[in-house]
Every structure is written in C-alpha cells, then in structure tokens.
Structure 1
Amino acid sequence: MNIFLTTLTRDLKMAFRNPSSFLNPLMFFVISISLFPIAISPNAETLMNIAPGIIWVITMLSVLLSLNSLFHSDYDNGVLEQIVISHHPLPLILLAKTTAHWILSGLPIILLSPLLGIALFLDSNSIYILMLTLCLATPCLSLIGSIGASLVVSIKNSGMLLSLLILPLYIPILIFATSAVSQS
C-alpha cells in the first residue's frame, strides 16, 4: 500500500508543478456550461430539461481533455519503463495514477456541479442526483480513460485517436447518468 500512496503523492505533486494540465480542462468545463444559457435560451424550463445532458457531455469531454497527460510525461522521462521493470505490483501503481487523475479532474467537477446546476435551473433533488451520479461515474471515466491513454501513450498528437477509442466506451455511462438525473 506504500507504493500506492507514494505514486499518488508523486503524481499530485507533479500535476501541481504544471497546473495547466488540470486547470485547462476544468476551465473548459465551467466556460462551456456557462455558455449554454447564452447560446440556447435563458428560459428556465428549457435549461432545466437539457441541463443533465449538457453537464454530462461537458464532463466527459473535460475528462477526455485531461487524459492525454496521464502517462505522457512518465513515458517521455522513462519512468514508465522503470515502473514496468520494478518489483512493485503494476496494477496498484496504475490505480494510484488513475486515482490522482480523478482527484485532479473528477473531484473538481463534482464540487463545481451544484453551482453550475443552479445556473442551469436544476432543482435541489436533481442536483443531489447529479452529484451522486458524478461521484459514481467520474472514477469510471478515469479508469476507462486510463486504458485508452495507455494504448496511445507512444503516439504523438494522439488526442483524436484517444477520443475515437474512449468515447464509445463512455456512451453507456452517459445514457445511465443523464437518465438518472432527468428522472429525478
């Protein structure tokens, strides 16, 4: 368990040395959701009906934006090779790296979602269900995304390929989460 905490703290420290790696997707999340009332309609009824879909699609895209940096710096520095040849359990190290990714991408989205839900005229019950679905599904988005990020780590400019690999796997999460929030 010590290697898990060591890897987790290392990845968090490295991310805070380059804050744009996790702040850019977060700012994309906030700005994109803030633009929908301006672009579509400031009508409360309209926004309330489409808010779950808006929040979830932008959440998926924000997590997808941050996936590119999950393994690239370690691959470029040769750290991934050292991790593979070390005697430490590889699944535990990868779980720590994915947990760090979720802390930096999923957790801020969960914390900002009530404020953005209010901006989109969601009621308190819908905001509660939204936060619950985000708590359950954003770790899944990070775990599924880590599979795709590991497959394209050696490819330069792999954003489009990563999107093509991961977005179809995100669709069931999108369907269940938006229907749960819409039904509340």
Structure 2
Amino acid sequence: MIALLTRDLRLAVRAGGGFGLGLAFFLIVVVLVPFGVGPQSALLAKIASGILWLGSLLACLLSLDRIFALDWEDGSLDLLATAPVPLEAAVSIKALAHWLTTGLPLVVAAPVFGMLLNLPGPGYGPVVLSLLLGTPALSVIGTFGAALTVGIKRGGLLLSLLVLPLYVPTLIFGAEVARRGADQMDYSTPMLLLAGISCGAIALLPFASAAVLRVNLR
C-alpha cells in the first residue's frame, strides 16, 4: 500500500498534475477576480470565501483525468485488479495521492491567496478548516468520476460534466462555513454537514469506483 502511494505521488508530480498546476490555476483565479469585479475592497472581502472555494474546486478538476489514465495506458490497472490488495483499497490510495498532491497544497495556500482578496481576519481559520474537511470529498468524488470515464479518449470534458454536479453540495456547505466564519457567525451546522459529506464519500465511493473499474476492465 505504501509502495502504491509512493508510486502515485511520483507519477502525479512527473505528469504535471501535482502541486504546481493546481496552485498556479488557483492563483490565476484569485488574481483575475479583482479585474472582473473591480478593485473595491468591501466587495472583494464579501466574496473572498466563495472565490477561494470555487478556485479550489476547479483546481481539483485539472488532474482528475490522470488518476487512472496512466495506469490504463501501461496496463498497470489490470495488475491492480488482480493483485492481492483489494481494488477498493487501491482506489482509496489513489484518492489519497490525489488529495496529497492537489487538495492539501490548496489548503495550505488558501490563507496566502485570501490576503489577495482582502479576506477578513476572522475568516482565515474557517476557510482553512472548511477546505481541510471538504477537499477529501472532492478527491474521492473525482476518483469515482475518473473510474467512470477511464479508457475514454479525451474524456476530460465528460469527466468534468459528470463530477461537477456531485461537487455542488460540498461547494455549498464549504463556502457557507467560510462565509459564516468571515462574518463571525456560528458555522457549526454547515461544518458538520460538510464533514458528513466527506465521511460518507470516503466510506462509500471507493466501493462504487472499484465496481465501475471492474466493469470497464471486462
């Protein structure tokens, strides 16, 4: 399991879908927003938490098609399906590798990018907390979408269309946690719902992803 995780981390970085690409896209979104809505500090402070969440979500989409694509191309996916390690565990490891190379850097970078959007001081903690709770769900849901489209040539657009509707609840509750925190309101309810979505996705979707992969490999 550790060897598989190490291999996926190396592949993610070498393929250009790891730390750099997601962070660069996140930065571009954050920098372009003030040009689109204007340089008003009050307006930017109001929408900062939502922009940070939307940028994180879109950044996670960039590398989803690479989760299984390289394994499909070199035949490693067939070996994983017949390995002693359950395919559900292998899928979970791949989702973890995606989160470590994409989701976690976004969580770390969010406070820095929040300063560019004039995020209020009380909002930094809730933004980081919401991303820390919500980005694992984005990776697991994205892994399920990648399993559905594995083997399809140029399936990146189809993958985005399949995954984006599934991302909506995570986006709603994650942005709500960040918004309430920035406004110094109680955010315990959306935080618990966000944590519930992540826990449910982590518990259930690896089995669905493994089942879809078995169908695609037949």
TM exceeding 0.5 = yes
Q: 2:164 matched to 1:174?
A: no
How far the C-alpha of 1:127 sits from its partner, in A, is: 1.1
Larger RCO: 1 or 2 (CA < 8 Å, sep 6+)? 1
Matched position secondary structure for 2:154: coil
How far the C-alpha of 1:77 sits from its partner, in A, is: 0.4
1:93 to 90, 93, 96: 90
Matched position secondary structure for 1:67: coil
C-alpha contact 2:45 2:117 (8 A) present in aligned 1: yes
Aligned-partner Cα distance in 1 for 2:76–2:70: 8
Scaled by the length of structure 1, the TM-score of the pair is 0.94
User: C-alpha deviations, 1:157-181, integer Å up to 9, x for none?
Assistant: 1111111111111000111111111
Number of equivalenced pairs: 180
1:126 to 123, 126, 149: 123
Q: 2:11 matched to 1:21?
A: no
1:50 to 40, 47, 52: 47
User: C-alpha deviations, 1:112-140, integer Å up to 9, x for none?
Assistant: 10011111111222111000000000011
Letter in 2 for 1:67: L
1:62 to 59, 66, 82: 59
User: C-alpha deviations, 1:83-126, integer Å up to 9, x for none?
Assistant: 00112111111111111110110011011100111111112221
In the alignment, structure 1 segments of 5+ residues that lack a partner are none
Give the corresponding residue for 2:108. Answer: 111
1:73 to 62, 70, 73: 70
Scaled by the length of structure 2, the TM-score of the pair is 0.80
The alignment's C-alpha RMSD in Å is 1.1
User: Among the aligned pairs, what percent are the same residue?
Assistant: 39
